[in-house]
A and B are shown apart, each in its own frame.
Chain A
Amino acid sequence: MVTFALLLVATACTLHDKNAATLVTVKVQVTLPAEYGNAAYAGRTVTLGNATATTDANGVATFTGIIPDIYTITTSAELSGAEYSALTGNVVDSYQYYTISGTLSNQVIQNESTITLNTLSTKAQALLISKLYYAGTNDNAGKTYQAAKYIEIYNNSANSVKVDSLYIGVAETNGAREFDPYVDTEHIYLKQVFQIPAGSNKVLAPGGSLLLVNSATDHTASNDMDLTGADFEAYSTTYATTTEVPDLTFVYGTGSKPITYLTLLPGTNNAWVIFNYPAGETMELVYGPAAKDKNATAMLNYRYVKLPVSYVVDAVEALKKNNSATYDYTTTKRFPVAIDGGYVTVSATNGRSGEVVYRTVARTTADGRIVLTDTNNSANDFKVGVNTQTAKTKLGTVGEDYAIVTPRTYPQ
């Protein structure tokens, strides 16, 4: 590697010596992919070596005073869903963003020239489920404490995202899987659906997060988190839901008396999804196979929202820990690999360990914004940490250092 770098420097020096006095002006014409039609890549930054220039209305970046040499020319920009729509005329939802990027490597510049930089446009989801705290903890008396569980949603894009009407759902959690995601790869089946209230005008800034809880109170007396700053609460009479924090809209819950709080269960599977659903379309409810032969009351416990995977914004599947070395987790997986290629699990079989599954940091941008890993595979994207010191000591694995996780902070 070092040898290669030295070689490059040596080559550059040779060229520099030859044409020492001739500085040139280079124009880079950035062309957008076909879906953008005639739209221009205007007002974006293009990098040539160490130099940068902004494109004009025609998508041309002009570099002056360039020493002829071999350069790498790159450009990259994030378009919010709205900007993309404006450029392409395609209608998209607001949770998607588009990255336009192009690179020309080893471009030899000897004289004034116009170079064409072709770009690619890739679609990405702005919103991610960044943390899932479903394990709960033991309080100071050693009794289970489950009130401080939360879901955190993160804006992983460079643009602000309005999260109104975003849906949050959880897959069915019956002991035996109702629907095999390796058979029906096109749908997922949800037992509970919530929605960020339409009209709440909640906007997530780049790097901003949304904290969804069951009880936005201070749980530190019971060895857990202070959640008074949560954004939304799922209203229930089971938990102390406060008047200050707005309630999530309860959309659907299975069962004869649906549970209205977020069912983050410590000793089972937690397959959560955030999704977008076309306004005006009714969600389809289907009976699971286990409903067969059940009486009417029981059947209500086996009715799920059938959601096409195309509506999914992000999904994470946390499976119940199984201590058997040969256990096949794919027998309990609820989500098709297309939306979550893997799974994550906390170390305690029955939870109560204070463990949080959290998304790792992919990189930090120049302006300090944290970009979280998103490969659509929770096995790669997530790690397990704890959010209370007490819980950490209880886990008690010598030499194992758990990251301390609290809402809205991201262990590097």
Chain B
Amino acid sequence: MYINTSKRLALWGGTALALFSMSAIANAKTLHHTAHPAPTHAEATKTYDVTIRLSERGTREPLIMATCVIGSINAHAITDYNGVAVMKNIPAGRYTVRIQYVGFETIERTIQVDRDLDMPIMMTASTLALKEVTVTAKRKIGEAGTVTTIGRQALDHLQAMSLADAIQLIPGQLMSNTDLTTASNIQLRTVSNNSNVAFGTSIVLDGVALSNNARPMQGTYSGTNTAGVSTDLRSISADNIESIEVVRGIPSAEYGDLNSGLVIVNSKVGRTPLQVRAKINPTTMNYSASKGVQLNNNGGVLNFNADYAKAWSDPRTKTRSYTRYTGGVAYSKDITRRWNTTTRLRFVLSRSWNGNDPDAIQDGTFEKNNAYTLGFTHNGRIRMNKKFSRTLNYTVGLNYNQSKARRSIIVSNASGFLPILTALETGYHEVPYYTTSYSASGGTESSPGNFVAKVDNDFGIKAGNTYQGFKMGISYNYDWNSGKGYYNDDDSYPLTPNNNGRPRPYSDIPGIHQIAAYVSDDFRWDLGRHSSLKVQAGLRFTAAQPWKEERTFALSPRINAAYKMNRFVTWRGGIGWNSKAPGMAQLYPDKKYTDILTARHISSSDPTTNYLLYYTHVYNTAYSPNMKNATTRKIELGVDFTLPQGRALSIVAYHDRTPNGFEVISDYTTFNYSTFTAAQGLNITPGSATTVDYTNPAGTYQYLLSKGTVGNTAVSVNRGIEVTMDLGKIDAIKTDFSLSGAFAESKTYSDDYSITSPVQSSYAYDEYGTRVVPLRLVYAGGKANSMSIYRQFSSQLHTTTHIPALRMVLTLDAQAIWQSYSKSLNPLRYPIAYFTSDPSQWTMITEAMLADPTTTLGGTSVLLSDQKQGGTENSTRTPITWNLRARLTKEFGQVGGISFYANNVLYYEPFLSSSSTTTLSQRNTSSYHFGFELFFKL
């Protein structure tokens, strides 16, 4: 077996990437061998050329820049100026060829290659006059993993204004209103709001992942900070999107730096009429125009798009707004017959603003953020037509974003005593204080940039009834931030005068290099006319900061398999590991500033003697030590039933486990400080400034400090079942029914120890009220000790009434949330260890010590029986709620049309109580929404 496998490996040993060969592929191939003891050798297979001549139905005009793909062997071709695409050296066999072109219905045709083929193919423009339309998200058939595609018609019918709106079409996601005034991210297959899931979702726009790695944080790391989540989806306008693929299951090894989900967004490329769209709803308006022009003399195709959107939080109180200008140019050009390129430039300017209602009293406070993004991508595809290099794909991308957040606030001073802590160095600092509130301004300038280069070699091998599409590639990624970071306009009037308000220049943070290499093999074995086995296996190696101490590595294998038993039943399953490298926010947390009051003298009669002295300790971690990638193991198991008359049932169960998500960990260090009082250490002379005698402190104390570094201890387990059922069409009422449902459970807990100060009947304080605790107690973490559980069961029934003669589609969606449940497990527990002056030296606490009321820990008397944590268990079950949505699209001939939608169309906002309280609270609030769209194709 082993020798056999090695021999086969020699087949693709010609590529450097054979180094990354792994057992998954080997096994897949072995399986093939076992089944076919005498395989046809690849070299022996005859090859033919397949020529596709593409034209538009009706006009018979050739279609240029259409993509033709034979997926199973990675053969690609793009139609030329005459609408002709040639796929050379196709091994004899049965294939599915897929032809895609913007604004046209995608064609999938099965071909039998046993001679040179020359196929004239006509494509039909997508309109509602066609017999079939797709206005809902569809599960991609034939894929081993769970992939949902959202096409242009579905986006139109939804009246999506940004990528954020489109996500609600995915099974398990709930209906939502368009709201451009708040940032949004994607969290797939989780019920609890989990920033690690958002951070681990990759959004790939035209082949380049929109990186979120170069977004550092000022202050303590927090998962709720936007830097720790994914790219803001609002900045991607929906009108220029041709299609969206959402991979909830195990993605191909080609895509990396993600651990929870993958969203692939393809923008429009190709000759299109001028399209003008105007969308309006009570809070938002969005106008866009796009056109694709074919240049003469094989000069390529140029696509333009422009988009403007403006949103207010509420038309009555304009306290929040968002404005977005998007412009883009895409140029597709065949440099040679074999070398197709697409070059895109994308520009987004967005402005968000928070402030006082224009009708309210103006006090000069506001918050605004002007951000622009400049994106450049160049994708090329060279058809090598070699045995081990059929297609060479490459991508070069550069994204630069500059976000200038400005804030003007009045810093309140309720206590009339506000020390202004601004020291940046460790030591004693005399600190001024203010007695009144003051105006402050400043902001954050973040300029994340990202450079990507990626080369990928594809080839296919046919052997007997088996087909293999190999993909192997390497990529390099560099993320940097050249921004000024967090700053105050005047450091003596800081925005946050407490210890969390220190400036942080982002340009000081090291850039992040990532290199990756991957191989994947799409294996198909035709077992019979209606029976096949598909295996998609892959291995990805990634290294972040490979030349630095803080380097992280990951080797992520994955395998997906689909076994089509017969025409009706397909079984599928997979297991895969995906890893997300830490970004700047996790790898390079901000310095931790601790400020302790060490002397204070305030005199109302002699203010010249007033004196305030703080000891500032700056804990500067160069990087979070021992960081690992957050790695999710995904397991999927499903079955698809394909029934006649368009009926289908698909059930998939998934289990995603991330044992090492990012969170702040309990890591302690110590420092000492001294206090000075009027009696000892302070020299107070009436009429002159107070001085301090550092050699004569009133007391010296040790402080135990949590460093604020980030680690890999956040655990999340998401599992569930997703069901989609196509109930088929009732022709008499021209209505299609489909049902989707998802039961999802999310469990989150921390594997970190929980470290606290002991509870004592009386506490020791220093002279200025800082508690002096010489020790910390350690409590065990993990799911047995504290865990949150969320469950949600929701379903949506979609009815689509499509009347081609009227060019009209009406959809009614009914959503029910049958169960929404949350529970926090928090059993009673006692400390397991303690430490004193050396945080690395833990002393275990025994049962006997717990029981003994006279126990002292490091010389401090602590009543251990009092040191209990937890002992509570709360669960809340919210009542069943439902929501109805209606959408209508009508086309007027070829020139344009209108759409209308109403969310919560019955205005159902009941008062219902949850299981944990008898208080009635209103459900479905602000879900009532409606909007209108007008569009033209000229």
Contact = CB atoms under 8 A, between A and B. Distances in A.
Contacts of B602: 217, 240-243
B608 interface: no
B439 A141 contact: yes
Interface of A: 136, 139-148, 215-219, 221-222, 228, 236-245, 256-257, 260, 293, 295-297, 300
Contacts of B604: 216-218, 228, 242, 244-245
B435 interface: yes
B867 A296 contact: yes
A145 B414 contact: yes
Contacts of B870: 295
A140 B435 CA distance: 12
B412 interface: yes
Contact of B769 (A221, A228, A236, A293): A236
Interface string B583-603: 000000000000001001111
A146 B439 CA distance: 18
Given A228-B604, A240-B416, A245-B604, 18 more contacts: A136-B414, A143-B410, A145-B416, A146-B414, A222-B413, A222-B416, A237-B597, A240-B417, A242-B602, A242-B604, A243-B602, A257-B771, A293-B872, A295-B871, A296-B759, A296-B867, A296-B869, A297-B756
B437 A141 contact: yes
Nearest to A145: B414
B613 to A, nearest CB: 12
A243 to B, nearest CB: 5
B13 to A, nearest CB: 62
A219 B412 contact: no
B118 interface: no
A311 B867 CA distance: 35
B413 A143 contact: yes
A296 B868 contact: yes
Given A142-B363, A244-B605, A295-B870, A147 B600 contact: no
B236 to A, nearest CB: 39
Contacts of A228: 604
Contact of A143 (B412, B435, B597, B872): B412
Contacts of B414: 136, 143-147
A145 B410 CA distance: 13
Contacts of A239: 415-417
A237 B759 contact: no
Contacts of A241: 602
B768 interface: yes
A300 B756 CA distance: 15
12 contacts: A136-B414, A140-B436, A142-B361, A145-B437, A146-B415, A147-B414, A215-B416, A217-B602, A218-B604, A219-B435, A240-B416, A296-B869
A218 B602 CA distance: 13
Shortest Cβ-Cβ A-B pairs, 8 listed: A147-B416, A143-B412, A240-B417, A296-B759, A143-B437, A296-B866, A146-B414, A242-B604
B415 A147 contact: yes
A115 B436 CA distance: 68
Nearest to A300: B759
Nearest to A221: B436
A232 to B, nearest CB: 14
Interface centre among A143, A245, A260 (most CB of B within 10 A): A143
Nearest to B438: A141
Contacts of B417: 147, 215, 238-240
B439 A293 contact: no
B763 interface: yes
A335 B759 CA distance: 30
B232 to A, nearest CB: 31
A217 B759 CA distance: 35
Interface in B405-430: 410, 412-417
A296 B869 CA distance: 7
A297 B779 CA distance: 14
A141 B869 contact: no
Contacts of A244: 603-605
Nearest to B830: A296
Contacts of B759: 256, 296-297, 300
B64 to A, nearest CB: 64
Contact of B437 (A222, A236, A296, A300): A222
Nearest to B863: A296
Contacts of A242: 602-604
A18 to B, nearest CB: 73
B768 A139 contact: no
A147 B434 CA distance: 13
B433 interface: yes
A268 B899 CA distance: 52
Contacts of B435: 147, 217, 219, 221-222, 240
Interface in B350-375: 361, 363
B770 to A, nearest CB: 8
A221 B438 CA distance: 12
Contact of A141 (B410, B678, B769, B867): B410
B868 A295 contact: yes
A245 B872 CA distance: 46
B832 to A, nearest CB: 16
Contacts of A260: 769
Contacts of B869: 295-296
A38 to B, nearest CB: 52
A142 B416 contact: no
Contact of A139 (B436, B605, B756): B436
A87 B730 CA distance: 106
A252 to B, nearest CB: 11
B416 A243 contact: no
Interface in B558-603: 597, 600-603
B416 A237 contact: no
A221 B869 CA distance: 46
A217 B606 CA distance: 12
B488 to A, nearest CB: 18
B668 to A, nearest CB: 19
A409 B270 CA distance: 84
A148 B433 CA distance: 17
B766 to A, nearest CB: 10
Interface string B770-809: 0100000000000000000000000000000000000000
Contacts of B436: 139-141, 221-222
Contacts of B603: 242-244
Contacts of B771: 257
A257 B433 CA distance: 24
Nearest to A303: B761
A256 B415 CA distance: 21
Nearest to A142: B363
A288 to B, nearest CB: 17
A146 to B, nearest CB: 4
A237 B414 CA distance: 13
Contacts of A296: 759, 866-869
Contacts of B410: 141-143
Interface string B746-758: 0000000000100
A228 B871 CA distance: 49
A218 B597 CA distance: 23
B412 A144 contact: yes
Interface string B420-461: 000000000000010111110000000000000000000000
B763 A256 contact: yes
B580 to A, nearest CB: 35
A217 B605 CA distance: 10
Nearest to A147: B416
A89 B285 CA distance: 88
Contacts of B867: 296
B413 A237 contact: no
Contact of A238 (B361, B363, B412, B415): B415
Nearest to B597: A237
Nearest to B418: A240
B365 to A, nearest CB: 10
